[in-house]
Amino acid sequence: MAYHDDLLQQALQLVRIDPPSQLTLRRAVSAAYYAVFHFLIAEATSNWSNVSLRTALGRAYDHGIMKTASNRILNPKDFPFTGEDKAVVANLRFVAQAFSQLQEDRHFADYNLTTDLDPVEALTQVKSAERIFSVWPTIQGEQIAQAYLVSLLVKRV
């Protein structure tokens, strides 16, 4: 099993601990974000033909650039995706939006200790990550999905 799969499984296990504690809920949300972060990097670097250098290439990814790229994909003015399959566009925008939101959720879970996490909301956040894992394979071969992966590494595409 890949690292990102392990992280998603950990998030699912943590969020289902009964009774939930703030520690387990916060770790679940954080693990869910990192599962998606590493999943998208693995998807992008899998296009690199030199397998032995994929891990090194993966180190070049930056959380901020990835969030900015994801937010840009959501703007129909910048990316109208004219002529593209509407279902593919909707799924790509879901992946981008969910990634961006999960990053915000992770920041809240890791750094905002003034407000308790709601167990239902934490479960929703983890399920959002799980959904990315199931949606991505339906679009991964599409040109716009591949362009999205490139945009996660470079400042502007």
Tokens 């991505």 appear where? Answer: 136
The sign of the CA dihedral 147, 68, 46, 60 is: positive
Can the peptide bond before residue 20 be classed as cis, meaning omega within 30 degrees of 0?
no
Tokens 């891990």 label which residue? 55
Q: What is the dihedral of CA 105, 152, 34, 136, to 10 degrees?
A: 100
Cα 150–chain centre separation: 14
Q: Supply the DSSP symbol for 116.
A: P
Helical segments of the chain, H only:
3-15, 22-45, 54-58, 63-73, 86-111, 119-139, 143-151
The model's pTM is 0.95
8 alpha-carbon distance from chain centroid: 11
Give pLDDT, residue 155: 76
**Residue 122 CB partners (closer than 8 Å, separation 6+):** 15, 20, 25, 26, 28, 29, 109
Q: Which two tokens stand for residue 127?
A: 């399920």
Reading the chain (157 residues) residue by residue, the pLDDT tens digits are 799 999 999 999 999 999 999 999 999 999 999 999 999 999 999 999 999 999 999 999 999 999 999 999 999 998 999 999 999 999 999 999 999 999 999 999 999 999 999 999 999 999 999 999 999 999 999 999 999 999 999 976 4
Structure tokens at 16: 């289902």
